[in-house]
Amino acid sequence: MKYSHSKAMAVFYKIVKLVKNGVLMMIHIYAKVSNQMIVLF
């Protein structure tokens, strides 16, 4: 039980890390695109 719980936590943290990286990436790309939009219009 303890082992499976820690394994689940490890997977959870891995997913959280991936989501955080994904969100940061999206914000970065969105900022770039919105800046280009401001320049274009």
* 12-32 residue pLDDT tens: 999 999 999 999 999 999 999
Q: Check whether 1 has a pLDDT greater than 60.
A: no
**Residue of 28, 35, 32, 13 lying closest to 5 (CA atoms):** 13
Task: For residues 14 and 36, give the distance between their C-alpha atoms in angstroms, rounded to a whole number.
Answer: 33
Q: Check whether 37 has a pLDDT greater than 90.
A: no
Q: Check whether 40 has a pLDDT greater than 80.
A: no
- Does this model's pTM top 0.85? My answer is no
How does DSSP classify residue 41? Answer: -
Task: For residues 6 and 14, give the distance between their C-alpha atoms in angstroms, rounded to a whole number.
Answer: 12
Q: Check whether 34 has a pLDDT greater than 70.
A: yes
Q: Hey, is 1 helix, strand or coil?
A: coil
